[in-house]
Homo-oligomer: A and B are copies of this chain.
Amino acid sequence: MPSREFVIAFDADDTLWHNETIFERTHERYREMLSRYHDAATVDRTLFATEMRNLELYGYGVKGFTLSAIETAIDLTAGKIPPSEIRRLLELGRDMLAHPVELLDGVAETLAALSPAHALLLITKGDLRDQERKVAKSGLADHFRHIEIVSEKNEPAYAAILRRHAIAPARFLMVGNSLKSDILPVLALGGAGLHIPYHLTWAHERIDTPPPPDARFYERKSIRDVPALLAAL
């Protein structure tokens, strides 16, 4: 069974557990808070622009989001936002960090079925402590041979992980919801990519580039489809 030799890596946020839904709930409250000043589209657009401006310094994660949300609220209200509402933004940020981890359908069973026969990796980007906390809360840690928390999921980051664990790209399958962060860089390195879309995608992760036609690119609806795909590879 050649498929047994595959090393399978999973993205975490919106692949193993819900994440963007938590951000989306916070966005809804944020729009309400600023609705006296601006319409929802302006609020969304300005917050996203602030996040992109700060991304190089802040990186991904809830703390950087909270700082950018405070900055945007001050800008969009020309400094008229009351400090009590800034305090509310700090609370919303802490609520996100303390949020329970809710697994996606089929995740626990599928990882339990795969881990006896395959080396499984978890590769996620974002805030170190927040991602560690989510891994611990998920109850999934024991399924993974290695857990990699990186600051960016691009070709050099994947290349470093493959090198560190002596994994041949031909035997590497990455599973995730983001074409940009989980699939395209892995295909470019000669690995295989399985895209499992989530119903929400953060604007920064959206892309128009399709995967190259000769790449080992697959798309499925659920993590439950991974064993059948592996058997067919």
- List chain A positions with a Cβ less than 8 A from chain B: 54, 57-59, 63-64, 66-67, 70-71, 74, 77, 79-84, 86-87, 90, 93-94, 97-98, 127-130, 132, 149-151
Which residues in B have their C-beta under 8 angstroms from that of A54?
94
Which residues in B have their C-beta under 8 angstroms from that of A151?
128-129, 132
* Total copies of the chain: 2
Q: How far is the CB of A74 from the nearest CB of chain B, in Å?
A: 5
Asked if B58 contacts A129 (CB within 8 A), the reply is yes
| Bound-complex Cα distance A209 to B227 (A) | 54
Q: List 24 A-B contacts (CB under 8 A).
A: A57-B97, A57-B98, A58-B63, A58-B97, A59-B127, A59-B128, A59-B129, A59-B130, A63-B63, A63-B64, A66-B67, A67-B90, A70-B86, A74-B83, A74-B84, A83-B83, A83-B86, A127-B127, A128-B128, A128-B149, A128-B150, A128-B151, A129-B151, A132-B151
